[in-house]
Structure 1
Amino acid sequence: MGQYDQLYELYNEHDTDTLRALQNLVDLFPLVESAVALDRWKEINEELEDGKEAVEDAFPDVGERFADLAARARQEQAFTGLDLYKKYGRPVNVFVLDVDETLRSTGSTDNEIPRETLNLLTEFHDAGVPIVICTGQTLENVKGFAIQGLGSQIVHSGNLSIVYETGTGVFTPRHGAGTKQLLYEDLDDEIQAVFDDVRTRILSEASEELRKGCHLQGNEFNITMKPNFETGSDAAEAVIDQALVYELDLLGDAVATHGELGDASGHSVPDLTRAYYADQDPEIHAVLESEGALPDAAATDVPADLGAILERIDIGYYEGDAAEIGTLELSKVVGVEAAFDVLGIEDPFAVVMGDSKSDLRVMRWVQENDAGIAAAPEHASQSVVDHVESTDDLIFEQGRAGDILRMVYALNRFADEG
């Protein structure tokens, strides 16, 4: 009997729903100092083991693996895991995980990473699979919720790395001199001067409306304006759209000051900067259009010397959440490569989970290098959804990142057994 036929038999002829429910109770049972609670946990665990033994008896050759699958993965997750094993022939050996709107969501998880997701990540970590948290947030923010959710022991285990501020720095505890890598320090003087200029002026020269409606995220390098309103609200969307236009103009002015530029073809550098990024990103184009800020200049008017600077600088727009100036030389891809290096991952096969264009760059990088697969929440940026659907179609519901982790569990169990 083939593997697919055996899986059909497992899920159609055995009460796998009960096994998963029991496993979840065992995994998530609250730790309380109560003899009654402990006795109840033992009863649940015994019932789970009895159910697993019944599966093992029904499948003599693959019983242990199938018992684990039945307790961890739904039928579609197990079949997807088998499909991916047949396609790639290897297990996932590292996770690359965005946080906001991926592991947690303001819309469905109250901006907390669900306990189920944290428990599954803990199990993978205990099995020796490294975790790379890859986010646009500051290091201190990420360390805080990582320690709160996963525990200090895992965060400081030497097998977890944090790529922060979209790749400007990498923090990997217990790796000596490689523990904290400030990648932005390697940028050339021209780019550093542009960022220093923008950073010193961005609040002092902002309009009163922007100063009241936004704050500057406490980054080490990137320049990120965040709303002083609930993320995603109408007020937040409005002020971030204004902040985007303001950042583009400030960036253009800083480039004109510190870059070695020739003739600008009769257009101002801020106008050419708007034109350049409007051509690069349809979301930015739409915001500029809605704000009445599309310039008369076109992307074809951008001189080569200006384009050579702007192509190194990234503008991140996140509707109702943030407007950010970063550098493409320090993308999440660069940060992930640095994290893999310090973790000693020489032949990665990663699951990359994310929702934004910065995550898409990592997804494309692993695809181009045969180094992993991609997954995204259904509400991700359309370009991310398009990429994921065109590869392995690993789209999950908002707040349900654990579904992908269960699929990966199935994939790795098939790979373990060969």
Structure 2
Amino acid sequence: MERYDLLYRLYGNFDADAVREAQDFVDLLPPLDSAVALSHWQEVDDELSEKKDRIRRGFPNGDRYAELAARATRDQAFTALDLFTKYGRAVNALVLDVDETLRSAGRTDNEIPREVLHLLTEFHETDVPIVICTGQTLENVKGFAIQGLGNELVHSGDVSIVYEAGTGVFTPGHRSNTKRLLYETLDDSVQSVFASVRGRVIRDLPEGLRGCVHLQGNEFNVTLKPNFETGSDDAARVIDDSLVYMLDLLGEAVTDDADGPTWTRAYYAARDPEIEGVLADRDERPDPDTTVPDAVVETLDRVTVAYYQADAAELSAVDLNKAAGVEAALDVLGVDDPFVLVMGDSKSDLDVMRWAASGDRGIAAAPDHSSPGVLDHVRQTDSLVFDRGDAASMLRTAYALNLLVD
């Protein structure tokens, strides 16, 4: 109980909020080209040093508790201590989704908040590798990563990008391992299925989808996105239509039999309630007793069909997912015994969360608007749910955990 008692004393006897606010001011509002602004910044920095010194003098291992006050709220610090009590380990890598996790159009104009970017640099300076794990293309992710984190950090050798939901891994500074195309390891039969679907998906678009969707520029996954605002009624309609269209394309790619599309619909409807719901709403759900031939099942077992309401319809390989990409990234980064913080909001992120949980490889956190499966998993593990647009709160908690372990 000693650590709990020390935290109670830290947040009860010292003005930790003032310390944290001063630290944020110093970190996020650096000196400007103004004598007045520079003078004010220096005053705050001096006051911060004095406040931290008072905490250092009041605690054994005072540096730790001064940094805790400067980096975490009372609730974040106690959550971190609960995690330390449960796991006894520091986070040794961050695994972070981008869209709707690090950034959120709902609160931050779809830009990663400055506070989040600064916290990532703080983790980097304590030798914690960063794995950006996203469904976006490599070029898109490299662009915002370099713009937000800086070219030096991105090319430091401690940052890896798992892109297109696990089809590739990019880790600058690692020579022959800098870029690994994981889809090249797939069987020819699986690659041929994706080649067929990808070759036809835009060329054979039905009239009702032309001009309404676009193919996301992935190297391997086949993802249709709406040409309407994500979450809108129009986006919901065209993504539902796109899901059925892609199921049928997949059925035709897997077998020459005319029943291929029916078998594909039946296979995925039986395995995903959301897909079943889309088909049922359209009165296109196959008979539940439909028998899918073993040879077709064997191939479909290797293909994931993902439905994101009013956002995307996607085909990907079972063997290529974010979890596989994260494992490859950690291998390149040299993280042999991972205990990661996974942050994400979608079904593809759930694969990584389950991977982490299954081998005591880390903890999972998610924004409160995440998909139901993600929220269920996070609440059943450590209940690390944060508000939309507030990824910084979870990063602060993880930073506090590491301070407590060191």
TM-score, with length taken from structure 2: 0.97
Q: Give the deviation of 1:297 after TM superposition.
A: 4.9
1:76 counterpart SS class: helix
The equivalent residue for 1:293 is 284
Checking the alignment, whether the CA contact within 8 Å between 2:19 and 2:70 is kept in structure 1 is yes
Counterpart-to-counterpart distance in 2, 1:271 and 1:94: 44
Q: Give the deviation of 1:35 after TM superposition.
A: 2.9
The equivalent residue for 2:261 is 270
Matches within 5 A, 1:44-63: 44-59=44-59, 61-63=60-62
Deviation string, structure 1 residues 372-396 (Cα, Å, up to 9, x no partner): 1111111111111111111111111
Of the candidates 267, 270, 279, which is equivalent to residue 279 of structure 1? Answer: 270
Checking the alignment, whether the CA contact within 8 Å between 1:241 and 1:291 is kept in structure 2 is no
Counterpart-to-counterpart distance in 2, 1:149 and 1:317: 30
The equivalent residue for 1:80 is 79
The equivalent residue for 1:196 is 195
Deviation string, structure 1 residues 302-324 (Cα, Å, up to 9, x no partner): 22211111111011211111111
Counterpart-to-counterpart distance in 1, 2:279 and 2:110: 30
Counterpart-to-counterpart distance in 2, 1:135 and 1:280: 24
Counterpart-to-counterpart distance in 2, 1:289 and 1:324: 19
RMSD of Structure 2 on Structure 1 (CA): 1.4
Deviation string, structure 1 residues 356-410 (Cα, Å, up to 9, x no partner): 1111111111111111111111111111111111111111111111111111111
The equivalent residue for 1:365 is 355
Q: Give the deviation of 1:32 after TM superposition.
A: 3.1
The equivalent residue for 2:226 is 227
Q: Give the deviation of 1:288 after TM superposition.
A: 1.6
Counterpart-to-counterpart distance in 2, 1:236 and 1:328: 26
Checking the alignment, whether the CA contact within 8 Å between 2:31 and 2:41 is kept in structure 1 is no
Q: Please say if 1:10 is aligned against 2:10.
A: yes
Deviation string, structure 1 residues 264-312 (Cα, Å, up to 9, x no partner): 7xx81111111111121111112222233212254x6122211111111
Deviation string, structure 1 residues 203-246 (Cα, Å, up to 9, x no partner): 11111221210011111111111111111111111111111111
Checking the alignment, whether the CA contact within 8 Å between 1:272 and 1:297 is kept in structure 2 is no
Number of residues of Structure 1 aligned to a counterpart in Structure 2: 406
Counterpart-to-counterpart distance in 2, 1:186 and 1:202: 23
Amino acid at match of 2:73: R
1:374 counterpart SS class: strand
Q: Give the deviation of 1:11 after TM superposition.
A: 1.0
Of the candidates 308, 314, 332, which is equivalent to residue 318 of structure 1? Answer: 308
Counterpart-to-counterpart distance in 1, 2:282 and 2:242: 11
Q: 1:31 to 1:139 in 2, by over 3 A?
A: farther
Farther-moved stretch of structure 1 (92-101 vs 205-214): 205-214
Checking the alignment, whether the CA contact within 8 Å between 2:197 and 2:249 is kept in structure 1 is yes
Q: Give the deviation of 1:95 after TM superposition.
A: 0.5
Q: Give the deviation of 1:30 after TM superposition.
A: 4.4
Amino acid at match of 2:112: I
Counterpart-to-counterpart distance in 1, 2:11 and 2:277: 48
Matches within 5 A, 1:139-150: 139-150=138-149
Matches within 5 A, 1:19-418: 19-30=19-30, 32-59=32-59, 61-257=60-256, 268-298=259-289, 301-416=291-406
Counterpart-to-counterpart distance in 2, 1:107 and 1:281: 28
TM-score, with length taken from structure 1: 0.94
Would you identify which runs of 4 or more consecutive aligned residues in structure 1 move more than 3 Å? Answer: none
Counterpart-to-counterpart distance in 1, 2:74 and 2:125: 25
Q: Give the deviation of 1:101 after TM superposition.
A: 1.0
Counterpart-to-counterpart distance in 2, 1:113 and 1:184: 29
The equivalent residue for 1:261 is none
Amino acid at match of 1:141: N
Give the unaligned 5+ runs of structure 1: 258-263
1:379 counterpart SS class: coil
Deviation string, structure 1 residues 70-126 (Cα, Å, up to 9, x no partner): 111011110111111111111000001111111111212211111111100111011
1:329 counterpart SS class: coil
Counterpart-to-counterpart distance in 2, 1:131 and 1:124: 8
Counterpart-to-counterpart distance in 1, 2:146 and 2:306: 27
